[in-house]
Amino acid sequence: MKQVNTETAQSDVKLNILLDLISRINSTLDLDHVLSGVIEGAKTITNSEACTVFLMDKESGEMILTLPTGPLQESLSGKRIPANEGIAGWVAIHGKAQIVNNTEADSRFRGDFKPKEFKTRNMICVPLRNQTGEIIGVLQSINKIDETDFIEDDLPFFQALANQAAIAIDNATLNEDRKNLLSEIHHRVKNNMALISGLMQIQSFSEDNPRVQSKLLDNVVRISTLATVHEFFYSSNSFTSLQFAETLRAVVRNTIQTLEPKAEITAEFECDPVILNINQAIPCSLLISEALINIVKNGFENQQSGTITTRLVENTDEQSILIEIRDNGRSIENQLKPAAGRVPEISLMDTFSGQIDASWNYEEKEKGNLLTITFRKSDKKGGANHSLR
């Protein structure tokens, strides 16, 4: 009776350890962290000297040792073996768990990598199956620390860990693939924007007509603004939002730099740490750059220096955003509010403000000029240009 109680207590301990391990390996999508958790968990649950995860490489038909533990872990990490060799290879091909308590007597054992430094006495080896039942690798524990044999009672807990590990590894691998794909898309978009922007700049330099040259540079600013938002969005590790204060600073500086005004303009900022939905961040950035195109080109014409101060404020109670752009240049109220009709640049400002349901106003103040933009924060879904009109 006492032996039964002892075995039950040991099983309860193993079960608690298993549940804790499963929780930890499923709490991250970082592949290295998942693998590290699986290997340390396997060592704990089997009380073994070393553990290894072999992952299948479908292209080469090999198995890769990933983050092994034990005295040879640094020299073995990343090693490859043919999928049809060794006990691990047999388990991968046949999909059956194996306990081998005398490796030297097993013909499938391919030998140790460095037998003088580490000798394999016994092992427990189980397949890693993902949610579709596909074998993606093998989990292996080597050498009981107390130098006893692995037993059949070790298998249920070890296989349960392997089953959860396979799902976690598969999810982490898919996440790595997704990040690589996003990185590739990001660099392609970034390079294409840079190419188009560069071509327009070259064309503007060779253009004799000042009006055409000015229009080309305006479009370079717009492309630069889109590229800036894209860069910060990609760096935000989010699919929906970004830190807008940093984006705003970059948009203002890039706009001034691209336009290359004759006046030496200093950019100053007073920004709250505002997070914006990407569908508001893009049109808001374009609205700001459009306003700055007019302010820099017309307000600082024939001036030697000037200052543009941008203020970003969030009213968290009302979920509203206020953006103020102050400048000490000449008033351009006549350009922004023409007596008859709307010029294309102002129509664009109305278009971008309409996308985020914003209102904007420009007025001459005692010590300069003030452009204000106000809108309510929103988490609306859809493409960033879904409301373009």
Amino acid identity of residue 178, one-letter, is R
Rounded Cα distance, 305 and 256, in Å: 13
CB atoms within 10 A of CB 110: 14
Query: CB of 343 within 8 A of CB of 335?
Result: yes
Instruction: Name the residue among 344, 327, 326, 323 with its Cα closest to residue 335.
Output: 344
pLDDT at 74: 56
Rounded Cα distance, 311 and 72, in Å: 58
Query: CB of 62 within 8 A of CB of 44?
Result: no
pLDDT at 75: 53
Distance of CA 274 to the CA centre of its chain: 20
> Whole-prediction pTM value?
0.59
User: Strands 264-271 and 305-315, how do they pair?
Assistant: parallel
HEC profile for the chain?
CHHHHHHHHHHHHHHHHHHHHHHHHCCCCCHHHHHHHHHHHHHHHHCEEEEEEEEEECCCCEEEEECCCCCCHHHHCCCEEECCCHHHHHHHHHCCCEEECCHHHCCCCCCCCCCCCCCCCCEEEEEEECCCCCEEEEEEEEEECCCCCCCCCHHHHHHHHHHHHHHHHHHHHHHHHHHHHHHHHHHHHHHHHHHHHHHHHHHHHCCCCHHHHHHHHHHHHHHHHHHHHHHHHHHCCCCCEEEHHHHHHHHHHHHHHHHCCCCEEEEEEEECCCEEEHHHHHHHHHHHHHHHHHHHHHHCCCCCEEEEEEEEEEECCCCEEEEEEEECCCCCHHHHCCCCCCCHHHHHHHHHHHHCCCEEEEEEECCEEEEEEEEECCCCCCCCCCCCC
Residue 265's DSSP bridge partners are 306
**What domains sit in the chain, N to C, each tagged with a CATH number?**
2-174 (3.30.450.40), 207-376 (3.30.565.10)
pLDDT at 344: 54
Query: CB of 387 within 8 A of CB of 355?
Result: yes
CA separation, residue 320 to residues 315, 317, 373 (Å): 5, 8, 11
Phi, psi of 273 (to 5 degrees): -75, 80
Instruction: Name the residue among 7, 140, 15 with its Cα closest to residue 23.
Output: 15
Sheet with 48-57, edge to edge strand ranges: 80-82, 62-66, 48-57, 135-144, 123-129, 98-100
pLDDT at 220: 86
| pLDDT tens for the chain, residues 1 to 389 | 444 444 454 555 566 666 666 666 666 677 777 777 777 777 887 888 888 888 888 888 888 877 655 555 555 666 788 888 889 889 999 999 999 999 989 999 988 777 777 888 999 999 988 878 888 889 999 999 988 999 898 888 888 878 877 888 887 777 777 777 777 777 787 777 778 777 777 877 777 888 887 888 888 888 888 888 888 887 776 767 888 999 999 999 999 988 888 889 999 999 999 999 889 999 999 999 999 998 998 888 888 899 999 999 999 888 899 999 999 988 888 777 655 455 555 678 888 999 999 999 999 887 889 999 999 998 765 544 444 44
CA separation, residue 297 to residues 261, 272, 347, 351 (Å): 7, 28, 17, 21
